[in-house]
């Protein structure tokens, strides 16, 4: 089973094409970026069809957990920037609090 990956993408966070290319390259297949921004809700599960998630580190207080990656904690005191979580394991993940 492949291991999920968490990668900093702060330098390309404003470029949808580069984000799509990065996620696709990391996942190993072509992925399509959903342009809709979502704020997670507490204990919300991510659909298993989702292969990658862009997370804003200094967004709402919370965390993204699950899969085979370490928790990605978010909130005003978590620093700035963005990470992309690529879900290679085939497992879904869950939001705690309100990460964005």
- pLDDT per residue as tens digits for the range 5-46: 999 999 999 999 999 999 999 999 999 988 888 888 888 888
- Structure-token pair, residue 16: 């949808």
With CA atoms as reference, report the closest residue to 6 among 50, 46, 49, 55. Answer: 55
- The answer to which of 7-11, 37-41, 55-59, 62-66 has the lowest mean pLDDT is 37-41
DSSP state at residue 3: P
Q: What is the pTM of this model?
A: 0.87
- Cα separation of 40 and 83, whole Å? 15
């Amino acid at each position: 089973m492949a291991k999920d990956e968490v990668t900093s993408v702060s330098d390309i966070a404003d470029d949808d094409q580069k984000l799509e290319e990065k996620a696709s390259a990391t996942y190993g297949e072509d992925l399509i970026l959903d342009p809709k921004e979502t704020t997670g809700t507490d204990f919300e599960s991510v659909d298993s069809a989702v292969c990658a998630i862009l997370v804003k580190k200094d967004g709402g207080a919370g965390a993204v957990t699950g899969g085979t990656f370490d928790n990605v904690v978010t909130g005003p005191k978590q620093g700035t920037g963005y990470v992309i979580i690529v879900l290679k394991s085939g497992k879904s993940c869950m939001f705690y609090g309100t990460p964005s």
